[in-house]
Chains A and B, each alone.
Chain A
Amino acid sequence: MKSIFPRLFACALALACAAPPALTQQQVPAEQSSQQQQTPEQQPPQHVEADEVLQVNTRVVFLDALVTDKKTRSLASDLKAENFEVLADGRPRQLTYFSREGDAGRRPLALTVVFDLRRNGAGRYLRRTEILEAMANELSKLPPSDEVAVIALDTGSFGEQREWLTPFTRNRAQTASALAVIPSLVGEGSSLGDARPLGGPSPAPSATPADTSADNAASPSASPAAASDADEAAAREREKQRERERNQEGYSVTVGSDSGGFSRATMMAANEDELRQILETFDEEHGRPGEKDEVDRFVDKKGREMTRILKPDGTLLVQRKKDDGSYEVNVYNDSSLPGAVFEVTKRVARERPNSQGALIYVTDGIALMAYPERDYVEHKMLRQNFIFSALVTDMKTGFKLAKPLLSPLGSLIGLNIYGGAQHIAKQTGGEALRVRRPADYAEGLSRIVGNLNARYSLGFTLAEGEADDGRLHPLTVRARARNAKGKERKLEVKTRSGYFTPATRQAKPPADAARKAADASQTERVKN
C-alpha cells in the first residue's frame, strides 16, 4: 500500500500536466462558449446506479457588474452575493455563480483593442507616438493571464478594411510592436471616403494627377495617361451593368468625398428567385473564398421578422419579407466595426472560451454608423457577453457646433452620426470616455482596464423551459449594502442591458459522432 499513494499522486500530477492550462485554471470546460456558458450546476452528490450516467445540462446566464459608491465615486469591491439582486424580464433570479476581483476563479480577459485609423477622425491622433506608447505602457500593466489582440480599421495602406496586427497574446512586447506600426498605417481616406456603390468593386484608379501647380517650381506640363488594365476596365463595366440593373429594381444612395460619406442601397425582389439572384451578386463582390456569411434572424422594434447577413468583408444586408411576398434588402457599409466585431466574437468563442471578452474601440466622436450596423454590434456584444468600451477622440470645434443639426438629420436617414460607441458601451455595461491629450488615452485606458478587472461576475441558471426566442431579455441588477455605521450605501450598478437565451442543445440531437463528442463535453457526468 505504501507505494500506491505516490503513484496516485504522480498520476494526478501527470493528468494535471496533460490537461490544457485553461482547464486547470478555469471552472468551465474549454469547449463551452463564453457567452451564456453551459456550466455544470453545483449540485449535491446524487445516488445513481453503478453504471448509470446522469447528464445534467444547465444553462447559466453570466453578467458582469461594476458597482460604484455614488457618494464617494469609488468602486465598491467588498460586496457579497447576497448584496445583489438580479431581475430578468422583471422577475428576480437566484444567483448560482458569483466571483469578484482577486478570486482564484477569475476569468482572464481576452481584450481586443480596435483602432479606427481614418485620418480625418481618430487617425490624426493615432499618428502621435506618445499616445501609442502611453497605451502600450498601460496594456503592459494587465495581469499576466490577460491577453490582448490589436486590430486596425480603415488603414490607408491596405485593400482590407481591417487588419489583425496581433492575435490574442500575453506577450506585451508583441502588443507594443503592433502599436508601433500604427502611425505608418493611418490612412488618408476611409471606408466612408471610398463611398463606393454597394455591391460593386472598389473605385477604379484615377488617372488624374494631383493638382500640383500651385506650389511647384515647375508645373507639370502634361497629365499622365491613364494606365488602366483590361481587367480593371472590365470590372468597371460589370459594375455599371449591375448598377443599371439594380436601379431598375431598387435604389442606391452614395454620398462621399475624400474625407467622408456614406453609401446605402435598397433592393427589391419580387420573389425568392430574384432574392437569390441579388444575394449571389453580393457573394461575388463581398464574399471571400472559404469564408461564410453570418446569418441571424431577429425581430425588429416594429415586430417584423428580419434576416441579417454579414458578408465576410463587413457589408451588412438586412432582408425583410413583405406582406405581399416580395422582399426588401437594405445594404449598409458605413462602418468597418461590424466586420471586426464578427471576427473578434467568433475568435474568442472558438479560441478563448473561458475568457471574459472585452473590446475597446479607439475612435472619434463623428464615426458614422448606420443604425442597423450599430444594432448588429450591440446584438453581438450582448449575445456573447462582451463588454464594449470606447476611447472617443474629442470632435473638432466645427463638428461640435454642427452636432445639433447633424444628429437629427442623420436620424432621418438611419445614420448614427454621433454617439454610436457611447450607445453600445451603455448597452453592454462598458464605458465610453472622451480623450484629447496624449495623457487622456493612458488615463482612459487605465480606467477602462481597471474597471474591467474590478467587476463582479454574476450568473443565474435558466429553467429548462426558457428557450432561445431570439429576443433580448432585459436585465436589472441592484446592489444593496450598509456601511460601517449601518446606514444604507447608495450604490450604482453598471451592467449589460439584457441577454439572449442560450440555445437548448437537447433540442437538436447530435447528427454525428463529432457532434456527440462536442455535446458530451458540455455536460457533466455524474457517476457513482
Chain B
Amino acid sequence: MKTARLTFVLAALALSLSSVSAQLPEQSQPAKAGEAAGASEAAPAVVEGRARWTLKTGGSVYSTPVVAGGAVYFGSYDNHLYAAEAATGRELWRFRTGGRVFAAPAIDAGRVYFGSQDNRLYALDAATGRVLWKYKTPYSVNSAPSATTDSVFFACTDGNVYALDAATGKHRWSRTARSGTPTATELAGDLVLFGMGLGVQAVDARTGEEKWFYRTARGVTAAVVVAEGAAYFGSLDGHLHGVDAQTGAGRWKFKTEGGLPHSPAVADGRVYFGGIDGTLYAADASTGRELWRFAAEHGVTSAPAAAGNLIYFGSTRGLYGLDAASGRQRFWFPTERIVTSTPTPQGGLLYFGGWDGTLYAVQ
C-alpha cells in the first residue's frame, strides 16, 4: 500500500507541476507582492497609498503631470490645461484649448509649453495662465515638448519635429522623421532625440540636421530617456535599447516578452521598464544585465518613475510601488480606472492622473 500511496502522491504532484508550467509562458498568474527573481526574504506588508487631495476634471487625464514652483500642471481630455497648488490641489487657473490636451507640458523660465489636439503648441505664463504665443501646426500635437531657455522642441503628428524660439514662438527649423510620427523629444547636450517608426533619430538642436540614426526592428512609440551619456528607449519589438547618446552606437539591448510602448526610468545605475507583457523589469544601466522582474497582476500601463527607494508605475487598476533594489511590491494605490499617466514624485507626494478624469496627489 505504501508504494500505491507514493505513486499516487507523485502523480498528483506531476499533475500540479504540469498545470503550472502550462500557464507560465502566458504570465497569466496573478502577481504576488514581492515576486522578484532571486529574492527570498519574507516580504513586508504592502502599504496602501492615501490620497492627500484629488482634482476632478471633465475628461480623462491621459498624460503626466509636471510639478514646478509649487504648482502642478497637467492636461485633460476636457480640452484644458490645469495649474493647481501642489500642496493643496487648489486650482490656480485653467486654460481652454480647442482639443484634448493629450500630453504632458514642459516648464521652463516661467513658461508652460504644451500641445493640443486643436493643432497648436501653446506657451503660457506659468503664474497666470495668460497666453504668450501659440504656434499652429497642420495636425495634432500629441507629445510633450522639451524646452531650454532659448528654444522649445516638439513633435507633431504631421511627422515633423519643430524647433521654435522660446520667447516668441518663431519657427527655427523642422525636420521630418524618417518614418511615421515622431515621439516626444528629449535633449542630450546639443542634440534632440526622438523615436519614430524605424528607430531613433538624433538631430542637431541648432539646425535640425541629422546626426545619427539607430534602427530598431519595430517602431519606437515613447520618448527616449537620457542619463549619464546614454540614451534608453523601448521598442514594439520588445527590446529595451541602451545606446551612446552622442553617437548612437549601441551598447546593449534587453529582450522582453512583449512590446515596450512606454519610456523607461533611470536612477542609481539601474534602468526600469515595463510593457504589454505586464512585467516591470530592472536592469543594470551600463550592461543591460537583468536585476529583477515583477509580474503585475493588473498590467503595466504607464512609464515607471523612481522616487527614493521605490519605483512607481500605473496599471489597469491602480498604482504600484516596488522596492527599487529587490522588485518586491511595497505600495499600492487602487483606482477605478486605467492609469496611463507616469507618476511624478515631488515633495513626498506622487502626482498622477487617471482615465477617471482625476488628478491624484498621493502619499
Interface residues of chain A, those whose CB is within 8 Å of chain B, are 2-3, 5-7, 9-10, 13-14, 16-18, 20-21, 119, 127, 129-130, 133, 136, 155-160, 163, 165-167, 169-171, 173-174, 176-178, 180-181, 183-185, 187-188, 202, 205-207, 209-222, 224, 227, 229, 258
Contacts and interface: CB of A to CB of B under 8 A. Distances in A.
Given A188-B139, A215-B134, A176 B221 contact: no
B329 interface: no
B100 interface: yes
Contact of A173 (B22, B259, B316): B316
A174 B256 CA distance: 14
B158 A166 contact: no
B273 interface: no
Given A171-B27, A173-B297, A224-B174, A215 B316 contact: no
A174 B277 contact: yes
Contacts of B165: 218
Given A10-B11, A177-B300, A183-B102, A218 B170 contact: yes
B18 A18 contact: yes
Given A157-B183, A159-B180, A177-B315, 4 more contacts: A202-B179, A206-B176, A210-B162, A227-B209
B214 interface: no
B109 interface: no
A218 B133 contact: yes
Contacts of A157: 180-181, 183, 196-197, 219, 221
A464 B7 CA distance: 47
A173 B296 contact: yes
Nearest to B221: A157
B205 to A, nearest CB: 13
B337 A133 contact: yes
Given A174-B299, A224-B175, A181 B355 contact: no
A188 B22 contact: no
A166 B28 CA distance: 13
B18 A129 contact: no
A243 B65 CA distance: 50
B133 A174 contact: no
Contacts of A165: 236, 259, 276
Given A176-B299, A212-B136, A188 B158 contact: yes
Nearest to B170: A218
Contact of A176 (B133, B180, B236, B316): B316
B177 interface: yes
B259 A3 contact: no
Contacts of B135: 212, 215-216
B157 interface: yes
Interface in B212-265: 218-219, 221, 236, 258-259, 261
A1 to B, nearest CB: 12
A17 B16 CA distance: 8
B278 A177 contact: yes
Contacts of A127: 100
A171 B11 contact: no
B14 A13 contact: yes
A62 B208 CA distance: 59
Given A170-B26, A217-B132, A205 B316 contact: no
A243 to B, nearest CB: 21
Given A187-B157, A212-B137, A216-B133, A160 B218 contact: yes
B294 interface: no
A14 B11 contact: yes
B291 interface: no
B316 A188 contact: no
Nearest to A180: B301
Interface in B168-219: 168-181, 183, 196-198, 208-210, 218-219
A133 B77 CA distance: 15
B313 to A, nearest CB: 11
Contacts of A119: 157
Residue picked from B10, B17, B132, B236, most chain A C-beta under 10 Å: B236
Contacts of A183: 62, 102
A249 to B, nearest CB: 30
